[in-house]
């Protein structure tokens, strides 16, 4: 039987899995650290694919998700900040030259959107937004059953929308982006600043907090912690209304650690979205929900890419 190989390359760990056609349950999975002194990251990656290849032939196609900007048309890793030397790396070519099967490459946040649409909470939606709110904010857009890529494959940067001009510095270097006010670290940072101003809370000033700690304090009724999620959720909800106006989706799927705060974040999101839409029609049949796929979302996106190469 012919199979697919899916790869998810992170800065620290790379995962690989083998899937039978029409199946989203892996036959086997393997995990290695992305970098090791004795080998280049590319050698390690090719070795990982080879070890799976030996256990399954023939392979129909290989899909690769990378946690960095990529050019999906040319199969190039543009710049992987956590992997030394991976700048303008023609990764697709390297893998195709070695294994002689079609290879497709995508950015992990975009591919997470593809995975949720094909296998998760977005199933059956022609038009869908996926946004992950964790250390950063990323995502992807499915329009008319297609992943929106843009001219160079850079579309779908849903976290880099200016929501607070001259606001806090964003991970991308600009100020006041959604990511800089609503990501996990941004929520924690805001609480730290408020504590520094003497705002009372069960959280203690003077050490760096996490969004998880803030969520836990909020669940114990802490007013400052609740206000932090209210604030982040309001920024998110207003921006979601913007997404509705631009893309008119029937689903907004929220993944990432912050989405696990439940009503604490979803209540203000829903309220701000409802009060910010230009017309209630945008909310008709709209599903706002959490992502269905967990850690394996990148692998599942890579699988969807590989399947697209063959099953179109």
* Rounded least distance, CB 175 to Zn ion, Å: 8
Question: Closest approach of Cβ 224 to Zn ion, in Å?
Answer: 26
CB of 150 to Zn ion, least distance (A): 17
The answer to whether the CB of 29 falls within 8 A of the CB of 15 is yes
Pairing, β 3-9 against β 59-66: parallel
Q: Find where tokens 């650290």 sit.
A: 33
Q: In the complex, what is the shortest distance from the CB of residue 215 to Zn ion, in angstroms, rounded to a whole number?
A: 23
Give whichever of 160 and 270 is closer to Zn ion, judged by the CB atom. Answer: 160
Q: Which is nearer to Zn ion, 170 or 300 (CB)?
A: 170
> Quick one: 172 or 310, whose CB is closer to Zn ion?
172
The nearer residue to Zn ion, 123 or 152, going by C-beta atoms, is 152
- Beta carbon of residue 162, minimum distance to Zn ion (angstroms, whole number): 9
Smallest gap from residue 51 Cβ to Zn ion (A): 38
Q: Based on CB atoms, which residue is closest to Zn ion, 103 or 170?
A: 170
3-state helix/strand/coil string of the chain:
CCEEEEEEECCCEEEEEEECCCCCCCCEEEEEECCECCECHHHHHHHHHHHHHCCCCCEEEEEEEECCCEECCCCEEEECCCCCCCEEECHHHHHHHHHCCCEEEEEHHHHHHHHHHHHCCCCCCCCEEEEEECCCEEEEEEECCEECCCCCCCCCCCCCCECCCCCCECCCCCECEHHHHHCHHHHHHHHHHHHHCCCCCCCCCCCCCCHHHHHHHHHCCCHHHHHHHHHHHHHHHHHHHHHHHHHCCCEEEEECHHHHHCHHHHHHHHHHHHHHCCCHHHHCCCEEEECCCCCCHHHHHHHHHHHHHHHC
> How near is the Cβ of 179 to Zn ion at its closest, in Å?
5
Shortest reach from residue 220's CB to Zn ion, in Å: 32
Residues contributing to the site for Zn ion (CB under 5 A): 160, 170, 172, 174, 177
Cβ nearer to Zn ion, comparing 137 with 265 = 137
User: What CA–CA distance (Å, rounded) separates 302 from 115?
Assistant: 8
The answer to whether the beta carbons of residues 7 and 64 sit under 8 Å apart is: yes
Tokens (6 digits) for 143 = 């329009």
């Amino acid at each position: 039987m012919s199979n697919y190989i899916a790869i998810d390359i992170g800065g620290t760990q790379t995962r690989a899995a083998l899937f039978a056609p029409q199946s989203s349950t892996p036959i086997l999975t393997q995990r290695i650290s992305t970098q090791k002194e004795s080998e280049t990251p590319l050698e390690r990656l090719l070795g990982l694919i080879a070890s799976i290849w030996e256990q399954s032939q023939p392979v129909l196609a290989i899909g690769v998700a990378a946690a960095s900007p990529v050019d999906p048309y040319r199969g190039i890793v543009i710049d992987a900040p956590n992997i030394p030397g991976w700048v303008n790396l023609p990764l697709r070519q390297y893998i195709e030259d070695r294994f002689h099967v079609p290879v497709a490459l995508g950015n992990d946040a975009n591919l997470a959107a593809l995975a949720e649409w094909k296998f998760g909470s977005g199933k059956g939606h022609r038009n869908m937004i996926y946004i992950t709110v964790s250390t950063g904010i990323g995502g992807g857009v499915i329009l008319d059953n297609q992943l929106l890529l843009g001219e160079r494959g850079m579309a779908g940067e849903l976290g880099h929308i200016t929501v607070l001009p001259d606001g806090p510095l964003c991970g991308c270097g600009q100020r006041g982006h959604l990511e800089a006010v609503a990501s996990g670290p941004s929520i924690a940072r805001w609480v730290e600043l408020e504590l520094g101003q003497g705002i009372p809370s069960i959280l203690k000033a003077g050490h760096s907090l996490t969004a998880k700690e803030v969520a836990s304090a909020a669940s114990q009724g802490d007013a400052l912690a609740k206000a932090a999620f209210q604030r982040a959720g309001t920024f998110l909800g207003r921006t979601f209304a913007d997404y509705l106006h631009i893309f008119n989706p029937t689903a907004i799927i929220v993944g990432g650690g912050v989405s696990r705060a439940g009503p604490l974040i979803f209540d203000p999101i829903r309220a701000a979205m409802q009060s910010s839409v230009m017309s209630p029609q945008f909310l008709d049949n709209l599903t706002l929900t959490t992502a269905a796929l967990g850690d394996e979302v990148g692998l599942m996106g890579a699988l969807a890419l590989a399947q697209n190469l063959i099953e179109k």
